[in-house]
Amino acid sequence: MALRRLLALGAALGRRSCCSKPSLPPDFVEALRAVVGAPNVSTAAAVREQHGHDESMHPCAPPDVVVWPQAVGQVQELAALCHRGRVPMVPFGTGTGLEGGVNAVQGGVCFDLSRMDAIAELSLEDFSVTVEPGVTRKALNKHLRGTGLWFPVDPGADASLCGMAATGASGTNAVRYGTMRPNVLNLRVVLPDGRLLHTAGPGRQPRKRSAGYDLTSLFVGSEGTLGFLTQATLRLHPLPEATAVTVASFPSVGAAVACTVQVLQAAVPVARIEFLDEVMADACGRFSGMGLPVAATLLLELHGSRHSLAEQQHQMEEIMRQNGGSGLAWAEGLEEREQLWSMRHNAWYAALALRPGCQVRHKDGDDGGSARGAAGATALPSLAQGYSTDVCVPISRLPDVVVETKQDLQASGLTGPMVGHVGDGNFHCILIFNSQDPEEARRIHAFTQRLGRRALAAGGTCTGEHGVGLGKRALLQEELGQEGLDTLRSIKAALDPYNLMNPGKVL
Amino acid sequence: MALRRLLALGAALGRRSCCSKPSLPPDFVEALRAVVGAPNVSTAAAVREQHGHDESMHPCAPPDVVVWPQAVGQVQELAALCHRGRVPMVPFGTGTGLEGGVNAVQGGVCFDLSRMDAIAELSLEDFSVTVEPGVTRKALNKHLRGTGLWFPVDPGADASLCGMAATGASGTNAVRYGTMRPNVLNLRVVLPDGRLLHTAGPGRQPRKRSAGYDLTSLFVGSEGTLGFLTQATLRLHPLPEATAVTVASFPSVGAAVACTVQVLQAAVPVARIEFLDEVMADACGRFSGMGLPVAATLLLELHGSRHSLAEQQHQMEEIMRQNGGSGLAWAEGLEEREQLWSMRHNAWYAALALRPGCQVRHKDGDDGGSARGAAGATALPSLAQGYSTDVCVPISRLPDVVVETKQDLQASGLTGPMVGHVGDGNFHCILIFNSQDPEEARRIHAFTQRLGRRALAAGGTCTGEHGVGLGKRALLQEELGQEGLDTLRSIKAALDPYNLMNPGKVL
């Protein structure tokens, strides 16, 4: 929290301009209680504080009140109340976002949707399932055990699936299974005035459609600014029969990327291909006790039948060799594989360990999303803190961008090991900083803005999977240009004319 | 044309309500000529007629004038002129649509974009290419020869790629490579007032992004109602090392579908899995001289390395056997494979041959899209004509929907063999009718509406790949419900407040 308070200083200008908080209408909290019952409404400072931030550096901005609706009808009634009273509404899932998406910068009502957690309509033949916003990806995959199906999108954190839809999340498996967008078939949305929209029509789940504008894709990635995602129908995938994982070291970033491009060109159906720069590889190797070489590193996972796996491994080894890579033996057993992935999943801790004096907070998720709630809190003073940035560039530009970014880190005196979903050209810097040093926080902010601009200059995007939230609004304008931003604004104004849904975000 | 004139009768009511054609402002055509030069503007009746319809049954509705811009700046200037004069604008690619998308029901200016046909910015490392609207999918794949990459989306017709983006096209390869939506990385759009929008920002092509609302997905499938797609950056795929094709017959539709579901559950990475009902299999078998059994049939294609192909074939054979399927030997050589696919691609002719007295028009494309222009015309009187419908349902419901549809065809006295992209639950009836019998045309219209409703009742969509155009507006309303349609209308009104872009379509 210390850092958040310090950063509040830097963000004060922004807050002044966007946070002329209107007070709630008289008897408004009473009206909320009448809808969901008194135990499902809270104005307690601790609860509001808990709901006023995510896992990013953005200063806490608590809502005026938190509500826990239990059913979609209640979400509709609550939204209608807010709409009539012109009160801002902020959807809240697990709070594991990384760009301040849940921070209630204009106050208002936080809708904590975690208690709506039904898993309905699992169809094994149609490879689909419908979940409410309280269902996390791990809970879904646990539910799917024994069915032969799984939901592969994995942003690291055990985020809610509707929250993942809201930010357009992806993660390590996206290179093979896609991001959230192609894996969402339908969304049940409560619009800002309380009306109920099914983006692909009520009860529908065709695998493809060309009937009207694609509302599903519009709401995926809308970051709570267009409505509440109160149900998602998701596309499931068959579990692979066999899986193999390896780690390979390369003489340079360029060689690791060239290897990746050749793997993709050879149509090896790689399931995960993760890049670690030499700082990250060293940190992970030391943290896990595996002792990886201090080199550009790829962590690769293959899925397939037992038979096809052998061929994929052979192809992969040949391509790695051609690019000067030298790898470990393939891990095929569950335990061995988990050991390698836990090395990657612990990148966050490994990065924190790079800074002496670090107090590690409970952290779940490889890209910076953490488990929230009681388990996530710590009473210890935290000196070092991590912040995970996210950009995505065309893969041909990745070596240059990574090298320039490393130079920038050095010139800025910052610690920021890199990990990335290299098959998609998407990478993160895990920035480790002293949470009691506002000057360093300012340097980090400036660095992330430069990194975003570097990605834009390379034909990429300022965010491949974390979203815009509060932190990348200026970059978004540069990315899309005036016409692009005007078009986004037109759509926002058309669907939320009073700017009540998660105001101050994205736009 | 005969049928179109007859159908004009049935459509008269619709046209009266939506076609209060305003006359063009004075000197308007002169102003268009000043932008693109006199040879690139035509008001000739034959030219207008040629641009007033696609390959569907919808009556020809010619624009007032046709223009051929040669550069995006001209499209912008022309759009600004139309915008100032409140003149409707209709984008035109190859005219191979199937739901009346190009018919100028309110007159105005048809923008024929076929002369903007540059292929730019091919990046083999990034698996991407940028094309102008005159580039067709076959032209692109010809351009890509020798690169090891291809663009797999194949709706049958040699449509323009921007046109395919506009309708959200897909086709036989979608089960493996996806529809247009995930394969478009960026679109350069001329907005109705002439401003230029890049849906993912100018010059950008990251493989994934979560920066703001997904404008690319919004414009894919917008059917020319939100702006002109004047350039598309597409995602390319590696060519498979080896390909194998087979045909298998099944005891029932249910068995063929069960086989498909098991293939998908077993994660066999099938590239194409096409269904033919027994009428279509019989027709294709006779037309091609291959003599297929009169049975529910699957036409399957596998892509992979030589090694992995053998395993896929083995898996596939086992699953086919388990479902009572009996297949031909695998065709692996190019000639053999092309023979099997030409059997499928000639489904249209084979269907037409089911009706005696048929005069076959030149037709290119398996689902009904035909090559247009001089080669597409015929001076022969056409007695029998085909019309390809399109619905998509969850695969578990496919057997019931197919069986009910067959009963409906029989009860309606209609000839409508079925083909479908069964891996996606998407299928077509190729309806063959006497083009000089308005009563039969009316029965066909009623049948297609019932088929759409049957798909909706099964949790599907009224169109998986052909779009809404003129023909499915009522079905779209039923599919999305009032809130869905209102949301589409809000977006349309926000981006095209004067309803100038392809008015009367979709909504």
B contacts of A488 (beta carbons < 8 Å): 212-213, 215
A 445-484 residues with CB < 8 A to B: 455-456, 459-468, 472, 475-476, 479-481, 483-484
Q: Do A481 and B202 touch (CB under 8 A)?
A: yes
Report helix, strand or coil for A211.
coil
CA distance B313 to B256: 17
User: Which two structure tokens, joined as six digits, stand for A362?
Assistant: 């409970």
Using pLDDT thresholds of 50, 70 and 90, give the confidence band for residue B284: very high
Cβ atoms of A174 and A424 closer than 8 Å: yes
DSSP for A270-291 reads EEEEEEE-HHHHHHHHHHHT--
- On whether residue B39 sits in a domain, the answer given is yes
Considering the domain boundaries, does residue B457 fall inside one? no
Across the interface, whether the CB atoms of B479 and A265 are under 8 A apart is answered no
What is the model's pLDDT at position A382? 54
Q: Report the C-alpha gap between A58 and A53 in whole angstroms.
A: 7
CATH number of the domain enclosing A336:
3.30.70.3450
Per-residue pLDDT reduced to its tens digit, B32-56? 999 999 999 999 999 999 999 999 8
> b/e map of B73-98 (b: 16 or more CB within 10 Å)?
ebbbbbbbbbbebebbbbbbbbbbbb
Q: Which of B131-145, B264-278, B345-359 has the lowest mean pLDDT?
A: B345-359
Beta strands in A422-487 (DSSP E): 426-434
Q: From chain B, pick out residues whose CB is under 8 angstroms from the CB of A239.
A: 267
SS3 (DSSP) at B460 = coil
Q: Average the pLDDT over A171-190 and give the result.
A: 96
**3-state DSSP assignment of residue B14:** helix
What's the burial of B383, exposed, middle or buried (CB within 10 Å: 0-12/13-18/19+)? Answer: middle
Q: Tell me if A41 sits within 8 A of A65, measured CB to CB.
A: yes
Task: Give A269's Cβ-side CA count (13 Å radius).
Answer: 23
In this predicted structure, the answer to whether residue A255 has a pLDDT above a threshold of 90 is yes
> Cα A151–A152–A157 angle (5° rounding)?
100
Are residue B209 and residue B250 in the same domain, yes or no? no
Q: What ipTM does the predicted assembly reach?
A: 0.92
Helix then strand then coil, % of chain B, to nearest 5? 40, 20, 40
SS3 content of chain A, % helix, strand, coil (to 5): 40, 20, 40
CATH number for B81: 3.30.43.10
- The answer to whether the CB of A484 falls within 8 A of the CB of B215 is yes
Q: Give the per-residue pLDDT at B307.
A: 85
What is the maximal distance between C-alpha atoms in chain A? 71
Question: B29 with B83, same domain?
Answer: yes
Does residue A44 fall inside a structural domain?
yes
Can you list the pairs that B141-144 forms with residues at least 24 positions away whose Cβ atoms lie under 8 Å? B143/B119, B144/B236
Write down the pLDDT at residue B197.
Answer: 98
User: Is pLDDT larger for residue B156 or for residue A188?
Assistant: A188
Q: Are residues B95 and B142 in the same domain?
A: no
Q: Which residue range(s) make up the domain with B104? A: 2-7+17-112
Q: Which residue among B62, B84, B112 closes a domain?
A: B112
User: Residue B26: helix, strand or coil by DSSP?
Assistant: coil
What CATH number is associated with residue B227?
3.30.465.10
User: Which parts of B45-168 fold into alpha helices (H)?
Assistant: 45-50, 72-85, 137-143, 161-167
Identify whether residues B213 and B191 lie together within a single domain: yes
| Res A345: pLDDT | 85
Q: Which pair of tokens denotes residue A77? A: 């009634």
Q: A491 to chain B: which residues are within 8 Å by CB? A: 213, 218, 491, 494-495
Say if B76 falls within a structural domain. Answer: yes
What's the 3-state SS for B288-333?
A: HCCCCCCCEEEEEEEEECHHHHHHHHHHHHHHHHHCCCEECCCECC
Q: Give the CB-side neighbour count of residue B226, counting CA atoms within 13 A.
A: 31
Which whole number is the average pLDDT over A389-409?
95
pLDDT at B494 > cutoff 60: yes
A188 forms beta bridges with A198, A231
Contact pairs from chain A to chain B, CB under 8 Å: 317
Query: What SS3 state is found at A423?
Result: helix
Q: Give the whole-angstrom CA distance, residue A360 versus residue A353.
A: 8
pLDDT exceeds cutoff 90 at A504: yes
Residue A347 predicted with pLDDT over 50:
yes
CB A66 within 8 A of CB A45: no
pLDDT at B5: 44
Interface test with A, best of B176, B210, B265, B302 (most A CBs within 10 A): B210
Task: Please check whether residues B205 and B261 belong to one and the same domain.
Answer: no
B210 and B169 share a domain? yes
Same domain as B249, residue B234? no
Same domain, B225 and B255: no
Last residue of a domain, one of A53, A86, A112: A112
Nearest CA among A188, A185, A135, A127 for reference residue A163 = A135
Instruction: Indicate the residue among B112, B137, B171 that finishes a domain.
Output: B112
Tokens representing A497 are: 């004319």
Q: How far apart are CA A30 and CA B377, in angstroms?
A: 72
In this prediction, residue A357 carries a pLDDT of 64
- Which of A121, A185, A213 to substitute to test the interface with B, most B CBs within 10 Å? A213
pLDDT attached to residue A367: 46
pLDDT band at B21 (very low <50, low <70, confident <90, very high): low
In DSSP notation, A309-361 reads: HHHHHHHHHHHHHHTT-EEPPPB-SHHHHHHHHHHHHTHHHHHHTTSTT--PP
Q: Is the dihedral of CA A170, A173, A179, A184 positive or negative?
A: negative
Q: Best of A188, A207, A463 to disrupt the B interface by mutation (most B CBs within 10 Å)?
A: A207
Residue A416 lies in a domain: no
DSSP-assigned states of every residue in A250-267: ESSHHHHHHHHHHHHHTT
Instruction: Look at residue B335 and tell me whether its pLDDT is greater than 80.
Output: yes
The answer as to whether B415 is a domain residue is no
Does A139 reside within a domain? no
Does residue A361 fall inside a structural domain? no
CA distance B43 to chain A (A): 31
The predicted-structure confidence for A199-253, as pLDDT tens digits, reads as follows: 999 999 999 999 999 999 999 999 999 999 999 999 999 999 999 999 999 999 9
Q: How far is CA B218 from the centre of its chain?
A: 17
Count structural domains, chain A.
Answer: 2
Looking up tokens 């609860």 gives A47
